[in-house]
């Protein structure tokens, strides 16, 4: 029956139990957590990450028991820990998204809110996994309902959809009643924020990282207010002045409740980033490296590289003269040029000095980006022309037939790369416990 979509979605996540979650979804959740914790640890030292931490401490966030996921980081009170961890998760474009490209980042906006609350209330590993899956399922359905039309309007999707998933995860960990859960979701709708002007401007790249922190912080705040009797509209998603109608140019309200059963889990669509770059560059880089694996060549032997991608990818990610690292990570041609000169698999290759590297800039002049007739946004064709006149091509499709989630081995390998600067006697035991999170009686140990 149509209508009451917010209530139906909330009823679904409220009734979810750990035993209802299929083993492959639990595995996907744990892999996402491993990946995200490493992304936080790697991003802790960046200036923008430290700025958020200093602000949190200055505003009174210190003295809490909740982990900031950086090496030897101070503990904070829950809302501030969520703020900092959310910013850390997306501090260097390393946290995972979803294959469908709905602008949702489950770890960066949901888990970063759930963890501090779990540590406050003494939740178990199973409790944390269940809350994370429940919040993510809601988040991903809301993202599907928007079809990213909110981003076309100028909003940044993680900052607008993230508070809903975070509020649900935190509320479940707080053992919220049905009304409290509905109120938390209603409150979250008024905490949604985030503009994409950073992607159009020559300044302000740091603010992109903040949107994740604010979404996580909003989830903690919404759940806490609801617990204190504060209310919010119970039709906040589908209402006449609700989220979908206000934030989106177009939407599909049915996506909010499609597949609400114990077999359909949107978390199966979570994807891991293989490079410290925006999602639009992942497929072109993958195709380029496949060509390098098949055809040995040096950068000097590359006459040109052409990337044929969807109109949206080309029009929004064809920056030729990035002024900061965020813009560089957004730019398909710059990332391609960097991958021809450095090991793009290691995020340390994307350093400030890359912006003015003569070799990279010279290679950049040989990179072309064209609009292709592709139905799937992330599908792309990469064509490398050798100086000897030969041309090599690789097609990367973003469809159900070609897609698979990251394997345990791939996640572990990425964890090792990102955690290289953390002493092995800390990073290795942490990985082991994260991989068996469901067996843990509490999560107080979940620190870097």
Q: Which helix (H) or strand (E) holds 166?
A: helix 157-173
Q: Quick one: pLDDT band at residue 200, thresholds 50, 70, 90?
A: confident
User: Looking at the predicted structure, is the pLDDT value of residue 185 above 60?
Assistant: yes
Q: Quick one: pLDDT band at residue 377, thresholds 50, 70, 90?
A: confident
Going by C-beta distance under 8 Å and a sequence separation of 6 or more, which residues neighbour residue 434? 30, 33, 34, 37, 446
Mean pLDDT along residues 336-364 = 97
- State the pLDDT at residue 400: 67
Q: Which residues of 244-278 are buried (b: 16+ CB within 10 A; e: fewer)?
A: beebbeebebebbbeeeeeeebbbebbbbbbbbbb
User: Looking at the predicted structure, is the pLDDT value of residue 402 above 80?
Assistant: no
Sheet with 380-386, strands from edge to edge, namely 367-371, 302-309, 380-386, 391-396
- State the pLDDT at residue 374: 80
| DSSP structural state of residue 393 | E
Q: Which of these, 220, 226, 225, 276, lies nearest to 84 by C-alpha position?
A: 220
Are 253 and 74 in contact, with CB atoms under 8 Å apart? Answer: no
Task: List, in sequence order, every residue forming a beta bridge with 392; answer none if it has no partner.
Answer: 384
- State the pLDDT at residue 100: 75
| DSSP structural state of residue 195 | B
Ordered by where they begin, the domains of the chain are 5-272+405-439 (1.10.4100.10), 279-396 (3.30.1330.120)
CA distance 204 to 310: 26
Lookup result for tokens 């917010």: 6
Q: What is the pTM of this model?
A: 0.96
231: burial class by Cβ within 10 Å (0-12, 13-18, 19+)?
middle
Going by C-beta distance under 8 Å and a sequence separation of 6 or more, which residues neighbour residue 321? none
Q: Which helix (H) or strand (E) holds 395?
A: strand 391-396
Q: Quick one: pLDDT band at residue 125, thresholds 50, 70, 90?
A: very high
Token duo for residue 238: 């589908």
CA 242 to chain centre: 24
User: Looking at the predicted structure, is the pLDDT value of residue 90 above 60?
Assistant: yes
């Amino acid at each position: 029956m149509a209508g009451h979509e917010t209530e139906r979605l909330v009823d679904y996540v409220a009734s979810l139990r750990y035993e209802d979650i299929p083993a492959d979804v639990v595995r996907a959740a744990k892999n996402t957590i491993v990946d995200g914790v490493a992304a936080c640890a790697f991003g802790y030292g960046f200036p923008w990450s430290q700025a958020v931490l200093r602000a949190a401490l200055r505003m009174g966030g210190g003295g809490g028991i909740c982990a900031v996921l950086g090496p030897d980081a101070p503990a904070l009170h829950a809302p501030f820990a969520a703020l900092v961890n959310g910013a850390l998760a997306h501090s260097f474009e390393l946290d995972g998204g979803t294959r469908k490209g709905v602008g949702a980042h489950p770890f960066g906006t949901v888990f970063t809110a759930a963890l501090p609350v779990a540590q406050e209330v003494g939740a178990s590993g199973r409790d944390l996994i269940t809350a994370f899956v429940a919040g993510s399922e809601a988040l991903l359905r809301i993202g599907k309902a928007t079809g990213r039309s909110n981003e076309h309007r100028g909003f940044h999707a993680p900052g607008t959809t993230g508070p809903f998933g975070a509020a649900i995860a935190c509320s479940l960990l707080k053992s919220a009643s049905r009304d409290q859960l509905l109120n938390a979701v209603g409150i979250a709708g008024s905490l949604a924020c985030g503009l994409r002007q950073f992607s159009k401007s020559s300044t302000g790249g740091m603010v992109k990282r903040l949107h994740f922190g604010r979404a996580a912080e909003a989830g903690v705040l919404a759940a806490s207010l609801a617990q204190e009797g504060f209310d919010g509209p119970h039709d906040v998603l589908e209402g006449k002045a609700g989220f979908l109608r206000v934030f989106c140019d177009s939407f599909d309200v049915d996506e909010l409740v499609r597949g609400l059963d114990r077999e359909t889990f949107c978390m199966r669509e979570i994807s891991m980033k293989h490079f410290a770059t925006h999602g639009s560059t992942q497929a072109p880089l993958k195709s380029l490296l496949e060509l390098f694996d098949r055809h040995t060549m040096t950068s000097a032997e590359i006459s040109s590289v052409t990337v044929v991608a969807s109109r949206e990818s080309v029009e929004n990610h064809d920056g030729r003269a990035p002024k900061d690292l965020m813009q560089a990570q957004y730019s398909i041609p710059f990332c391609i040029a960097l991958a021809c000169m450095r090991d793009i698999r290691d995020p340390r290759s994307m350093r400030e000095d890359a912006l003015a590297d003569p070799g990279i800039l010279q290679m950049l002049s040989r990179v072309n980006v064209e609009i292709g007739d592709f139905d799937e946004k992330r599908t792309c064709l990469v064509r490398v022309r050798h100086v000897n006149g030969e041309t090599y091509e690789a097609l990367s499709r973003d469809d159900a037939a070609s897609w698979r989630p990251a394997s345990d081995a791939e996640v572990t390998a990425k964890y090792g790369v990102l955690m290289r600067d953390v002493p092995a006697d800390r990073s290795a035991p942490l990985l082991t416990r994260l991989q068996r999170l469901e067996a843990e009686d509490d999560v107080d140990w979940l620190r870097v």
